[in-house]
């Protein structure tokens, strides 16, 4: 396996990395995230994250304060609009769903977190506090390998395009959350501010690795700059379908006290359901990113 090769090569001396066979996603053990990481250990975590895009750390029963401290070791906090944070913790969201809730689970659409921002978050960290006995998986799609699978001709076309991103479909006055009358445990905020839009390169370059990736998602990418909707939609739909091919998907199964960190710059994700009748509680932070290029 790739992970075994990495260990033999001496790529990591302070952490243990068990990667998926295709290199997309890796389990990290041998660290205690409740304590500040030594610079050499932190560097290895960041290198593993750049290489594998999705990392999970089992058996990390962190307090909110410890989650905040580890987040700040990765980078400064990102911005989290349209969801009210936890009292006393302005940079932590509680992703909660109670047993009696009938509404659609938060995040149950393919997306990259807050891609409509001028500087979308680089990382999202999610810590499982109450894990239901069934369901609740998170699926991740690899935008880098999906891009690399395209023909050279199509890649040249895409490299010059700008995608239009907006939160209007979800958080606008006419968006899905405004229309959903079911009870939500999460304090969602709908606003006219969500109607704003901005453009980002449809293909962006990862700042740490230099790899190119598709930077679009079905929730927030609403068009392509300079194209009519009837032109843009078939192209976007084709690219979404390519990203969601099984060979580019990793299904992540949660355990109690597991911290998972993913790279929003080159992945999109989907919160699966399947746990109706059970409580699920996660604590979530983001790390600030740069303007996509």
As a whole number of angstroms, the distance between CA 267 and CA 134 comes to: 25
Q: Does residue 292 sit within a domain?
A: no
Q: Does residue 190 sit within a domain?
A: yes
SS3 261: strand
Indicate the pairing of strand 93-97 with strand 123-130.
Answer: unpaired
Q: Which segments of 137-289 does DSSP mark as H helices, in order? A: 143-148, 152-158, 168-171, 176-179, 229-243
Q: Does residue 117 sit within a domain?
A: yes
Q: Does residue 178 sit within a domain?
A: yes
As a whole number of angstroms, the distance between CA 99 and CA 173 comes to: 28
Residue 211, CA distances (Å) to 8, 89, 293 in order: 25, 35, 12
**Would you please indicate which residues are annotated as catalytic (active-site) residues?**
111, 113, 269, 284
Q: Does residue 53 sit within a domain?
A: yes
Q: Does residue 32 sit within a domain?
A: yes
pLDDT at 4: 45
Give yes or no for a contact between 53 and 25, defined as CB atoms under 8 angstroms apart: yes
CATH number, residue 206: 3.60.130.10
Q: Does residue 184 sit within a domain?
A: yes
Q: Does residue 293 sit within a domain?
A: no
Label residue 260 exposed, middle or buried (CB < 10 Å: 0-12, 13-18, 19+).
buried
Number of domains in the chain: 1
pLDDT at 281: 97
Query: Over the chain (293 residues), what is each successive 10-residue block's mean pLDDT?
Result: 48 96 98 98 98 98 98 98 97 96 83 98 98 96 98 97 97 90 83 97 98 98 98 98 98 98 98 94 98 98
As a whole number of angstroms, the distance between CA 147 and CA 213 comes to: 6
pLDDT at 265: 98
pLDDT at 184: 77
pLDDT at 2: 44
Q: Which residues of 193-205 are buried (b: 16+ CB within 10 A; e: fewer)?
A: ebeeebebbbbbb
127: containing domain: 2-287
Owner of token pair 């699926």: 139
Taking the alpha carbons at both ends of the chain, their separation in whole angstroms is: 33
pTM of the model: 0.94
Residue 203, CA distances (Å) to 11, 13, 130, 142, 283 in order: 29, 34, 37, 13, 30
């Amino acid at each position: 396996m790739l992970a075994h090769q990495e260990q033999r090569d001496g790529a990591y001396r302070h952490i243990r990395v068990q990667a998926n066979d295709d290199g997309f996603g890796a389990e990290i053990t041998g660290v205690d995230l409740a304590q500040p990481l030594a610079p050499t250990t932190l560097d290895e975590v960041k290198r593993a994250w750049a290489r594998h895009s999705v990392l999970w750390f089992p058996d990390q029963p962190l307090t909110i304060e410890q989650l905040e401290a580890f987040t700040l070791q990765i980078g400064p906090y990102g911005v989290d609009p349209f969801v009210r944070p936890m009292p006393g913790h302005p940079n932590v969201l509680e992703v909660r769903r109670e047993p009696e809730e009938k509404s659609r689970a938060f995040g149950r659409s393919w997306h990259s977190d807050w891609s409509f921002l001028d500087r979308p978050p680089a990382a999202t960290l999610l810590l499982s506090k109450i894990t239901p006995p069934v369901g609740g998986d998170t699926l991740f799609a690899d935008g880098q390998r999906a891009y690399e699978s395209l023909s050279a001709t199509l890649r040249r076309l895409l490299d010059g395009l700008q995608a239009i991103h907006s939160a209007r479909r979800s958080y606008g006055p006419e968006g899905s959350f405004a229309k959903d009358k079911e009870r939500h445990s999460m304090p969602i905020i709908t606003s006219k501010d969500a109607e704003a839009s901005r453009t980002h390169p449809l293909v962006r370059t990862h700042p740490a690795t230099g790899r190119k990736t598709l930077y679009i998602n079905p929730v927030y990418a609403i068009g392509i700059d300079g194209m009519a909707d009837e032109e843009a939609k078939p192209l976007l739909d084709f690219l979404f379908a390519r990203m969601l091919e099984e060979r580019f998907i990793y299904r992540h199964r949660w355990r109690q006290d597991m911290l998972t960190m993913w790279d929003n710059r080159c992945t999109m994700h989907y919160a699966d359901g399947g746990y109706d009748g059970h409580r699920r509680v996660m604590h979530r932070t983001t790390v600030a990113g740069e303007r996509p290029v």
